[in-house]
Amino acid sequence: MLLITRDLPPDVMARARREHQTRELHLQTPLTPQILLDKLDGVDAILCNPRDKFDAPLIAALPASIRVIATLSVGLEHIDLTAAAAHGIEIRNTPDVLTNATAEIALMLMLMAARRAGEGERLLRAGQWKGFAPSFMLGRNVAGKALGIFGMGRIGRALAHMARGLDMTIHYHNRNRLPPELEAGAIYHADDSSFLPAIDFLSINAPGGAATQGWLNAERLAQLKPGAIVVNTGRGSAVDDEALIAALQSGHVAAAGLDVFNNEPALHPGYLSLENAVLLPHIGSATVETRNAMGFLALDGVNEVLNQV
């Protein structure tokens, strides 16, 4: 039996019901042990998403029948992998299939932040637009500028490919330099001190975890050019919210476009009053095609494990 914690796209739910006996929780609130543990009789697989935290105590409490936890995500920070391995539970996730959709959101946020699109729409909807004026709502060009990508993995490289269509120069900062065929002419920086001052736009595409926790802090923000624009579609945990809010308030960072946040969905309230912050509710992979592909890949992972002899 497959336990599904939350509503999935209709095509994914239909396939899950065809291939498995399902138990569906339809959760709208955080997953808790009390909610989960009394629903696991006869269950051998769980299909979850990043809102569902499987820490070591919860994994230790799972019945021995559970053979696999599949998550509708690339990231695995919400699952204690060490505890899962210790209890013989295999983990499956959904890499690769959300690359282009997330890169599209990053590019959209760059354009929206640079051209003050969110601010303009709010003004228009409020009935406050007074008509064209030469000095009205001046933004910044994107074409021809320098884009810095922190985390040149699949999504970072897809964003770089899209940005080259805008004649942007690509810089990137990784733990390791890419081979030339993946670098595709992008300029590698081994350290922040050369990377950050060289760019007009910063896109955070790095994975989560301790290595990137609070990476964009006050010290690194100060190294950006005055008027730089910051976009984050990677992990909210990579940003020191207080520092970024202060930089947006001062104007040192001209604008930010954010799709991910610390403590989602309870983002820092300081962002909400900033006209120069474009805020999206974590929809980087939210297309019909991508969410279906993620769901199907997660089901493939479940089936792979359950069909092992």
- The answer for residues whose C-beta is within 8 angstroms of residue 176's C-beta and 6 or more apart is none
Q: Reduced to 3 states, what is the DSSP secondary structure of residue 46?
A: strand
Instruction: Give the separation between CA 146 and CA 255, rounded to whole angstroms.
Output: 16
282 counts as catalytic: yes
121 counts as catalytic: no
Main-chain dihedrals φ then ψ at residue 71, nearest 5 degrees = -125, 135
264 counts as catalytic: yes
Instruction: Give the separation between CA 101 and CA 103, rounded to whole angstroms.
Output: 5
- Looking at the DSSP bridge assignments, the partners of residue 216 are 239
Please pick, among 189, 220, 235, 291, the residue that the annotation labels catalytic: 235
Main-chain dihedrals φ then ψ at residue 88, nearest 5 degrees = 70, 25
Instruction: Give the separation between CA 296 and CA 289, rounded to whole angstroms.
Output: 11
Neighbours of 46 (CB within 10 A): 27
Instruction: Give the separation between CA 170 and CA 98, rounded to whole angstroms.
Output: 22
Amino acid letter, 58: L
What angle in degrees, to the nearest 10, is found between the helix axes of 154-164 and 99-114?
50
Instruction: Give the separation between CA 237 and CA 257, rounded to whole angstroms.
Output: 15
Q: Are 114 and 255 in contact (CB under 8 A)?
A: yes
Q: Are 204 and 150 in contact (CB under 8 A)?
A: yes
Please pick, among 121, 264, 289, 304, the residue that the annotation labels catalytic: 264
Structure token digits, residue 302: 């479940």
Please pick, among 92, 157, 171, 282, the residue that the annotation labels catalytic: 282
Catalytic residue list: 235, 264, 282
